[in-house]
Chains A and B, each alone.
Chain A
């Protein structure tokens, strides 16, 4: 048993699991804020793509990841505010808005990428963020590859799990978010500003998704590719359902998807006999299975997806 745990291939798999889980974990944690406040943030995908792009461009221009990450978060947050304008202020259908925003994000990022870097074939690269050297800690069974072979952004992401729990469960903002997601009219009569809380939640939500997108371009690849998020924002929505919109559940579900992704990468090298295309499908098929198995609106906030309209004042 121990032999398996210390096996380098298994350790590599574990470390890849965490690495691949980080972007979707961040996006799903973001989605958690929006959904608990009653807004369905289909725009996670577009916010991720925006974050990946802005993070990449900023790092390319400044050479500093410490500048690039906040820029990506801010860009994602801005994306979220536009989305909130439609979903909250205008009360537009949240699915339609999210899809439209995602399509806009694809267009805007690829337009400006070509504008900045031209349509040439040599892709600009940046130096990716490397994990710090933890020495012997990295060789601890299980914990070593999961934690001590990761970069700083992964630690930030992991720290956000308990932080999110604390914000939602213990703070006034979290109480407001929960109230607004379940019964916005009640919250409004008690003096909670539903619009402001939802704007805040959606901005945080998309900011975190932007962060998640930035980890793709800054830590994972060092390049920006059109549509490089490849549906991860949608997968994050499935993770939210599987994780029951609870930070710890979301962490577990994100690791499961990270594992599926890692397995797919490893298995392409291993002689499994399966065509590689079937392995590539794995995360997507897993998402479908999760939705089929855990859907039904169990545990969803009562006002999820329902626009809130204040009484007219005229």
Chain B
């Protein structure tokens, strides 16, 4: 997937391209809303009011930002290494299961020990799950795009098995672990809301990822490998190592997202831990131009979209799945910016043709 990064490198420099893509996607979204028979202004106002207009709404948006940003950061690092890891969803599930298992088993330990143990085990589990795809790629040259998607399905079934079996709460009927004790939960930052310390993990992770990419030699090598493997090899770099780092970083960060959902939101491991955060995070990574702070900003935007959508549905009657459409369109517009000159050419040709027609009839 080396060529992918050559393309990524051509993504619009800076913010302009991303902002334009988002605006265009919202515009199409507005057309869809109008097609439903609702005023787009009303619908969007309801959406953003719900997501950003109150302390509680903002807190919910930030809570939703956490898994999207962590998975997005992981995917961005993988992309930078030229690794098309789309397995964040499965890595999140495996990480969540590990965090849940350790959290239940370690009940009684002080939180200063328990929380790091849960986070670390989630990261190791996520990295190991991603590592399977890494081995398949490095050892057997199996394309990671398909293997990671397949591993997502396998992970979800595996976690389902664990929650129906070994990890099941013996005192409950549902397929989930026992509830975590308060020592196994991330602290709430703002009383009366669900905003938990996971958002601080996101900020730290983004700063570390930024320093890694731009100030560390390993990050430099990772970027070079992603842009041009052959040149990296020719310069004496260890390409396999950089690719492996890309896989493991993605898995660890997605695993961490699983941990933060378990310890910060659900307070136990459940079967439907993620409604597709790992997939949305692919778009988050692309929209953020695979730069760490851009990824966090993109995650915040999409989180607001998702949080507001439910209110939009109940208040304005627009199906909340509109957000999925908008998210997909953002990417299509982002990579479709090359079409702008083409469309310009086509319009110019049309203008010429009309002018000729005008002269003829005159």
Q: Which residues of A contact B (CB under 8 A)?
A: 42, 85-86, 89-93, 95-97, 99-101, 103-108, 110-111, 114-115, 119, 230-231, 234-235, 237-238, 275, 277-278, 280-281, 284-285, 287-288, 291-293, 295-297, 305-306
Contact of A291 with B325 at beta-carbon distance under 8 Å, contacts A115-B319, A275-B164 already known: no
Give B285 Cβ to nearest chain A Cβ, in Å. 11
Q: Which of A97, A235, A284, A291 meets B142, CB within 8 Å?
A: A291
Q: How far is the CA of A48 from the CA of B321 in the complex (A)?
A: 19
Query: Can you name 7 extra interface pairs (CB under 8 A) apart from A91-B338, A107-B324, A231-B149?
Result: A96-B8, A108-B325, A108-B328, A114-B321, A275-B161, A288-B154, A295-B143
Which residue of A90, A93, A114, A284 contacts B153 across the interface (Cβ within 8 Å)?
A284
Most B CB within 10 A of own CB, among A89, A90, A288, A306: A288
Pair B335/A97 contact, Cβ less than 8 Å = yes
Task: Give 1 or 0 for each of B82-97: 1 = CB within 8 Å of chain A CB.
Answer: 0010100000000000
Q: Are A238 and B146 in contact, CB atoms less than 8 angstroms apart?
A: yes
CB-based closest 10 A-B pairs: A107-B324, A104-B328, A107-B325, A277-B161, A100-B331, A114-B319, A291-B142, A93-B7, A292-B140, A103-B328
- Please pick, from B140, B161, B286, the residue contacting A96 in the complex, using a CB distance under 8 A: B286
Question: What chain A residues lie within 8 Å of B8 (beta carbons)?
Answer: 93, 96
Q: Which of B1, B86, B154, B328 contacts A285 (CB 8 A)?
A: B154
Interface size on B, residues (CB 8 A): 51
**Interface set of B (CB-CB < 8 Å, partner A):** 1, 3-4, 7-8, 32, 36, 84, 86, 136, 139-143, 145-147, 149-151, 153-154, 157-158, 160-161, 164-165, 279, 282-283, 286, 313, 319, 321-329, 331-332, 335-336, 338-339, 342
CA–CA, A285 and B142, complex, Å: 13
> Are the CB atoms of B7 and A92 closer together than 8 Å?
yes
Classify the interface of chain B: helix, strand, loop or mixed: helix
Residue in A85, A278, A285, A292 with the greatest tally of chain B CB atoms within 10 Å: A292
A–B pairs, 25, beta carbons within 8 Å: A85-B339, A86-B335, A90-B339, A93-B3, A93-B4, A96-B286, A99-B282, A99-B331, A103-B283, A111-B322, A111-B324, A115-B36, A119-B313, A231-B153, A275-B165, A277-B161, A278-B161, A281-B153, A281-B157, A284-B150, A288-B151, A291-B146, A292-B140, A292-B142, A296-B140
Who on chain B is nearest to A114 by CB?
B319
Which residues from chain B contact A230 at a C-beta distance below 8 Å?
153
A287 with B141: CB separation less than 8 A? no
Measured between beta carbons, the chain A residues less than 8 angstroms from B322 are 107, 111
Chain B: CB-nearest residue to A285: B154
Nearest-neighbour CB distance to chain A for B54, whole angstroms, equals 25
A108 to B19, CA, bound (A): 22
With both beta carbons as reference points, the residue of chain B lying nearest to A287 in the complex is identified as: B150
Assess the A288–B136 pair: CB atoms within 8 A: yes
Contact of A104 among B136, B164, B323, B325 (CB under 8 A): B325
Q: Are A95 and B325 in contact (CB-based, < 8 A)?
A: no
A95→B338 CA distance, assembly (Å) = 17
With A93-B4, A96-B7, A104-B329 already in contact, the answer to whether A292 and B136 are too (CB < 8 A) is yes
Q: Cβ of B286: which chain A residues have Cβ within 8 Å of it?
A: 96, 100
**Which chain B residues border A291 with CB–CB below 8 Å?**
136, 140, 142-143, 146-147
Compute how far the CA of A277 lies from the CA of B161 in the bound complex, rounded to whole angstroms.
Answer: 6
Q: What distance in Å separates the Cβ of A217 from its nearest Cβ neighbour in chain B?
A: 18
Residues of B within 8 A of A237 (CB): 146
Contact B147–A111 (Cβ < 8 Å): no
Most chain A beta carbons < 10 A, residue from B149, B282, B331, B342 = B149
Contact B147 A288 (CB under 8 A): yes
Instruction: Write the nearest CB–CB distance from A38 to chain B, whole angstroms.
Output: 13
In the bound complex, CA of A238 to CA of B322 (Å) = 31
Say whether A103 contacts B161, CB under 8 Å. no
Residue of B nearest to A89 (CB): B342
